[in-house]
Amino acid sequence: MKKAVCALLCAALLGGCGESRSRNDGKIRIGVSVYDSYDTFISELMKEFNTDVADTGDITVEVYNASGSQQTQNKQMENMIEKGCDVICINLVDRTSPKKIIDLAKKNNIPVIFFNRELVEEDLSQWEELYYVGADAAQSGVMEGQVAASAFADGTADKNGDGVIQYIVLEGEAGHQDAVVRTERSVDTLIEEGYEVDKIASAIANWSRSQAQTRMAGFLETYGNSIELVLGNNDDMALGAIDALKAAGIPRAAWPVIVGIDGTTAGLQAVVNGEMIGTVYNDKKGQAKAMADLAIALARGESLDHLNLKNDKYIRLPYQIITIDNVSDYLD
Ligand code: GAL
């Protein structure tokens, strides 16, 4: 009888305060696997995440680099489970192949927070302990279009004066939600803002500065001075375009308008010095904090109410426009 009362009391207490999931003597262990640790935005996001988690004390974080291989990431998931991680954060390599990760999470009863590379809702609904932290790709595209539109307002950026914006797009990875949607929405926004546009060319440069430089060098050879606008799906690719303009010795006054997305350290610097007309802040600080808060609350078995999850699963941080007028607010 006494035992039963005690069990009830304990259950009530645990129910009220939450039950830690810790599999390591009360210490929390968080595992993270990123799709590619050389990606600038992801590495800056992880830096924020590590700082946020370090601030909270006795939590261990282990970060793995999947180096662009889903198979490697699946193995890392197994490894993190074996090593006793209480919560696992996954930046999917292939956002269409989360099955193995989800099966392992369910089987071992370990919550997974997917981030940045968004899996489809059907996959995220496979189990209640799966979450997503990221941002709304469409919003970044609209904002990029708005920044570009404002640069053409006074007519000076229309180099040939034909009233049409001749543009190129440097695209992220094929099939990545941010690449597809940003490209579409940025151009649609220019049109909605009343501009006539003419797409000269586009190229996939996989978020990479060096790949973008190569692609832009090719465009400069073929189309030369007729390019009036470069829409980069991210800052690194916009910076690659700038590298190509510099390498080709094109004078600054003859450069096209260049816009990026992310607000990385180098991207912000390019806004400060006027090489990029603007960028769109992909809130790495907000996303890192949301991931850290969610991971810790899950590990400690605490309520998630204060995190305002949408559909009990999603946290999306808003994007913000950055131009020379407000860039100082974003510099560390
Ligand atoms: C995007 C970001 C890119 C790249 C990509 C990786 O959100 O803008 O720079 O980091 O994620 O998935």
pLDDT digits (tens, 9 = 90+) for 259-269: 999 999 999 99
**Mutate which of 207, 231, 268, 322 to test ligand 1's pocket (most atoms within 8 Å of Cβ)?**
207
DSSP string, 50-117: HHHHHHTSSEEEEEEE-TT-HHHHHHHHHHHHHTT-SEEEE--SSTT--HHHHHHHHHHT--EEEESS
Which DSSP letter does residue 230 get?
A: E
DSSP string, 136-196: -HHHHHHHHHHHHHHHTTTSTT-TT-SSEEEEEEEE-STT-HHHHHHHHHHHHHHHHTT-E
Q: Give pTM, 2 decimals.
A: 0.93
Mean pLDDT of 209-226: 97
Kindly give the number of the ligand 1 atom that is closest to the alpha carbon of 134: 7
pLDDT surpasses 50 at 71: yes
Distance 225 CA to ligand 1 centre (A): 29
Distance 260 CA to ligand 1 centre (A): 11
Residue nearest to atom 10 of ligand 1 (CA): 41
Mean pLDDT of 38-44: 98
Q: How confident is the model at residue 16 (pLDDT cuts 50, 70, 90)?
A: very low
Mean pLDDT of 162-183: 96
The rounded distance, in Å, linking the Cα atoms of 180 and 160 is 29
CB 148 within 8 A of CB 191: no
User: What is the structure's pLDDT at 225?
Assistant: 92
322 Ramachandran zone, left/alpha/beta (phi>0; psi -120 to 50) = beta
**Mutate which of 70, 282, 291, 316 to test ligand 1's pocket (most atoms within 8 Å of Cβ)?**
282
User: What is the structure's pLDDT at 18?
Assistant: 62
Q: Is the CB of 42 under 6 A from ligand 1?
A: yes
Residue nearest to atom 12 of ligand 1 (CA): 117
Mean pLDDT of 39-65: 93
Q: Is the CB of 282 under 6 A from ligand 1?
A: yes
Distance 105 CA to ligand 1 centre (A): 25
User: What is the structure's pLDDT at 22?
Assistant: 73
Distance 247 CA to ligand 1 centre (A): 25
Q: Is the CB of 140 under 6 A from ligand 1?
A: no
Across the beta sheet with 196-204, the strand order is 196-204, 164-171, 229-232, 257-259, 278-281, 320-323
User: What is the structure's pLDDT at 273?
Assistant: 97
102: Cβ contacts below 8 Å, ≥ 6 apart: 112, 123, 126, 127, 130
User: What is the structure's pLDDT at 49?
Assistant: 97
Express as a percent the part of the chain with pLDDT over 70. Answer: 94
pLDDT surpasses 70 at 177: yes
- Mean pLDDT (the chain) is 93
The per-residue pLDDT for range 87-135, each reduced to its tens digit, is 999 999 999 999 999 999 999 999 999 999 999 999 999 999 999 999 9
The rounded distance, in Å, linking the Cα atoms of 204 and 250 is 23
pLDDT surpasses 50 at 83: yes
Residue nearest to atom 11 of ligand 1 (CA): 116
The rounded distance, in Å, linking the Cα atoms of 97 and 291 is 21
CB 32 within 8 A of CB 46: yes
